Amino acid sequence: MKALVLTLLFLLIAANEAKVYSKCELASHLKQGGMDGYYGFSLNDWVCMAFHESSFDTRAVGRPNRNYSRDYGIFQINSRWWCNNYQGHTANGCNKPCSAFTNDDITDDIVCAKRIVRDPQRMNAWVGWKNKCKGRNLSEWTRGCNL
Ligand SMILES: *[C@@H]1O[C@H](CO)[C@@H](O)[C@H](O)[C@H]1NC(C)=O
Ligand SMILES: *[C@@H]1O[C@H](CO)[C@@H](O)[C@H](O)[C@H]1NC(C)=O
Ligand SMILES: [Ca+2]
């Protein structure tokens, strides 16, 4: 019985921490977070970016970059500039531990993504967006969503 309870508890915790968004669910959260049109970027841009950066997986952690920084979470936020992973120098522009960007609550991830896009390079900060979304017809990324 105790083992069963522990197993259930573990599954609950695991389920709580590992969230892979669906396209429309993410679009809806981003809209609530004020991302639609933020600095001129549409929901489609944000959804397309998140897909190509993390496949919508809130737990995604990138392999170490050449300079030993890493990218965290659904928006693959970089530890050199935006969050602290306690493994080297960081500017910590979003003033967060990187672990804040690998849980299933993306509220703070959204706040940080907004901070990132306010920098001059805008969404070019995300290579996935630059290579796979920029300048393309992105209407499929919110098609069929009830927004
Ligand atoms: C480290 O590499 C990442 C990814 O390539 C990049 O975003 C970041 O700006 C780099 N940091 C430095 C200090 O060069
Ligand atoms: C984008 O693609 C959709 C569907 O493929 C189409 O309906 C729409 O007109 C396109 N938009 C532009 C600006 O080309
Ligand atoms: Ca978070």
| pLDDT score for 128 | 97
Q: How far is the CA of 135 from the centre of ligand 2 (A)?
A: 13
Ligand (nearest to CA of 80): 1
Other Cβ atoms closer than 10 A to 101? 29
3-state DSSP call for residue 97? strand
Q: What tokens were used for 133?
A: 């979304």
pTM, two decimal places: 0.85
User: Structural domain boundaries of the chain?
Assistant: 18-133
**Nearest C-alpha to atom 10 of ligand 2 is from which residue?**
137
Tell me the catalytic residues: 53, 71
Q: Report the nearest atom of ligand 2 relative to the CA of 137.
A: 1
Q: How far is the CA of 117 from the centre of ligand 3 (A)?
A: 17
User: 137 CB under 6 A from ligand 2?
Assistant: yes
Are the C-beta atoms of 52 and 133 separated by less than 8 Å? yes
147 residues of the chain, pLDDT tens digit each: 555 555 555 544 455 567 999 999 999 999 999 999 999 999 999 999 999 999 999 999 998 888 789 999 999 999 999 999 999 899 999 999 999 999 999 999 999 999 999 999 999 999 999 999 999 999 999 999 999
Q: How far is the CA of 5 from the centre of ligand 3 (A)?
A: 27
| pLDDT score for 65 | 84
Ligand (nearest to CA of 130): 1
**Nearest C-alpha to atom 7 of ligand 2 is from which residue?**
139
Q: Is 134 exposed, middle or buried (0-12, 13-18, 19+ CB in 10 A)?
A: middle
CATH number for 18-133: choose from 3.40.50.300, 1.20.1640.10, 3.30.70.580, 1.10.530.10: 1.10.530.10
